[in-house]
């Protein structure tokens, strides 16, 4: 049965997507007041990713009472900053920040789980008590630098690239493992959604095929790999909707690289029923990025055909606040150190399009960072929310 909370979430998406207007973009050199867009604070997705990097210091070496207090503080910060949704890392490296019979416990959560304290169960209730939605965020294929605790042990079930191990997306046991993990979350926790990010096929895959791949004669490598990811995405979507929850993906920002490097067929997902309820590209570049300026990438996503029942959010790089050098930005490398209102202007640009349903910030740590440049960037953004 579909829960009232999830019905309300889907209803919000429907309302937002019936109010489309023309596109616009902020001048990257102009500081302005928030534009009048008609976006309702009650319906705009205002999310923050709570990464395993945020959870580890909260949970490691903590007693259940201390962990509960720290989780309360974390969620209070999110709520008091004007957010309405947290994307909670439940599985980052073939592990579990919750009580699981499918995956081994994450190191930071293991002792707490043995003492009977389940961080996810506590977080879900605490989030809902604060009127925050919580989406369970998982990385389906990434194992990590070691395979010591990985549930699947056969060589054809995993491979290594760039010093990191990944599960083979085409192996039936991998598909089953991931889906079993999703199913236990949906069965045992009152999460509002399931969320996966950009860890599909890693960079560096052989374009002609890998030795562990059994690609049918006549099928291209790209089609083969996209097919494997598509099967998993559609299966997770079916599971989530069967439990009354939404499902979404936050792919990398470059549409072409999604298709040809990560093998995430975002064009298909946006136009075909049964794949996603929302998509949230990680547009982490500034306005003056030399090859991928924010406004250009935003327009690229807006130009893609999209079903009216698929919401579009934008991932924003709070983690870049005050960054001395944006390594891949070329002539725009110093933008984040030269300005403290980039995210505020990006939010203005998003809202002005009239076609985007909200945003998600990466990541929580920068909501509490006391570095002056981070504080200034954060304050300019939060003025748009509070």
CATH code for the domain of 189: 3.20.20.80
pLDDT at 325: 97
Burial class (CB in 10 A: 0-12, 13-18, 19+), 273: exposed
pLDDT at 43: 87
Look up residue 277 and give its DSSP letter. Answer: S
Three-state secondary structure call for residue 225? helix
CA contacts within 13 A on the Cβ side of 155: 2
From the CB of residue 327, how many other CB atoms can be counted at a distance below 10 Å?
Answer: 7
Phi, psi of 47 (to 5 degrees): -115, 160
Residue 37 within a domain: no
Q: Are strands 278-279 and 246-249 parallel, antiparallel or unpaired?
A: parallel
> With the C-alpha atoms ordered 53, 54, 60, 64, is the resulting torsion angle positive or negative?
negative
Q: Give dist(CA 90, CA 51) in Å, integer.
A: 9
By the 8 A CB rule, do 192 and 131 touch? no
Q: What is the domain count for the chain? A: 1
By the 8 A CB rule, do 58 and 109 touch? no
Residue 25 within a domain: no
Q: What is the dihedral of CA 166, 257, 226, 223, to 10 degrees?
A: -130
Residue 27 within a domain: no
Containing structural domain, residue 72: 4-20+46-382
The token pair that represents 11 in the structure block? 């209803």
Look up residue 330 and give its DSSP letter. Answer: G
Residue 90 within a domain: yes
Strand blocks (E) in the chain: 45-50, 85-91, 133-138, 142-144, 158-161, 164-167, 193-196, 246-249, 278-279, 311-316, 358-362
Task: Give one DSSP letter per residue of 91-140, joined into a string.
Answer: ESSS-BSS--SSSPBPHHHHHHHHTT--HHHHHHHHHHHTT-EEEEEE-S
CA contacts within 13 A on the Cβ side of 153: 2
Q: Give dist(CA 234, CA 238) in Å, integer.
A: 6
pLDDT at 40: 66
Residue 349 within a domain: yes
The pTM is what? 0.90
> With the C-alpha atoms ordered 205, 209, 212, 214, is the resulting torsion angle positive or negative?
positive
Task: Say which residues have a Cβ less than 8 Å from residue 152's Cβ, sequence separation at least 6.
Answer: 158, 167, 171, 173, 174, 177
Residue 194 within a domain: yes
The token pair that represents 338 in the structure block? 């030269």
pLDDT at 209: 97
By the 8 A CB rule, do 195 and 180 touch? no
pLDDT at 30: 34
Residue 199 within a domain: yes
Residue 33 within a domain: no
What pLDDT tens digit does each residue of the chain (386 aa) get?
Answer: 334 344 334 444 333 333 322 333 333 333 334 434 444 667 899 999 999 999 999 999 999 999 999 999 999 999 999 999 999 999 999 999 999 999 999 999 999 999 999 999 999 999 999 999 999 999 999 999 999 999 999 999 999 999 999 999 999 999 999 999 999 999 999 999 999 999 999 999 999 999 999 999 999 999 999 999 999 999 999 999 999 999 999 999 999 999 999 999 999 999 999 999 999 999 999 999 999 999 999 999 999 999 999 999 999 999 999 999 999 999 999 999 999 999 999 999 999 999 999 999 999 999 999 999 999 999 999 999 98
Q: Are strands 142-144 and 164-167 parallel, antiparallel or unpaired?
A: antiparallel
Q: Give dist(CA 170, CA 225) in Å, integer.
A: 8
The token pair that represents 267 in the structure block? 């064009």
């Amino acid at each position: 049965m579909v829960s009232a909370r999830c019905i309300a979430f889907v209803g919000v998406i429907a309302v937002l997507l019936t109010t489309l207007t023309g596109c616009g973009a902020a001048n990257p050199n102009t500081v302005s007041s928030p534009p009048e867009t008609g976006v309702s604070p009650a319906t705009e997705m205002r999310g923050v990713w709570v990464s395993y990097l945020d959870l580890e210091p909260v949970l490691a070496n903590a007693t259940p009472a201390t962990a509960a207090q720290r989780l309360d503080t974390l969620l209070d910060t999110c709520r008091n900053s004007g957010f309405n949704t947290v994307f909670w890392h439940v599985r980052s490296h073939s592990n579990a920040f919750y009580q699981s019979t499918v995956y081994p416990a994450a190191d930071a959560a293991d002792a707490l789980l043995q003492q009977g304290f389940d961080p996810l169960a506590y977080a879900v209730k605490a989030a809902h008590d604060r009127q925050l939605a919580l989406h369970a965020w998982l990385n389906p294929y990434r194992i990590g630098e070691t395979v010591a605790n990985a549930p699947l042990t056969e060589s054809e079930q995993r491979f290594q690239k760039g010093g990191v191990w990944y599960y083979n997306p085409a192996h039936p046991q991998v598909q089953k493992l991931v889906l079993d993990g999703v199913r236990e979350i949906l069965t045992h926790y009152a999460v509002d959604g399931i969320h996966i990010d950009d860890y599909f096929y890693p960079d560096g895959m052989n374009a002609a095929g890998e030795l562990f791949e059994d690609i049918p004669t006549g099928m291209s490598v790209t089609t083969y790999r996209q097919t494997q990811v598509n099967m998993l995405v559609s299966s997770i979507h079916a599971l989530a909707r069967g439990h009354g929850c939404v499902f979404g993906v936050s792919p990398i920002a470059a549409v072409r690289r999604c298709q040809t490097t990560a093998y995430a067929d975002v064009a298909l997902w946006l136009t075909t029923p049964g794949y996603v309820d929302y998509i949230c590209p990680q547009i982490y570049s500034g306005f003056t990025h030399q090859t991928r300026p924010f406004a250009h990438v935003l327009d690229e996503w807006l130009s893609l055909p999209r079903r009216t029942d698929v919401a579009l959010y934008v991932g924003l790089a709070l983690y870049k606040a005050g960054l001395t050098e944006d390594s891949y930005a070329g002539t725009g490398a110093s933008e984040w150190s030269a300005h403290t209102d980039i995210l505020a202007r990006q939010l203005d640009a998003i809202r002005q399009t009239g076609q985007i349903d909200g945003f998600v910030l990466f990541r929580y740590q920068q909501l509490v960072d006391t570095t002056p440049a981070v504080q200034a960037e954060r304050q300019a953004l939060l003025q748009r929310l509070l």
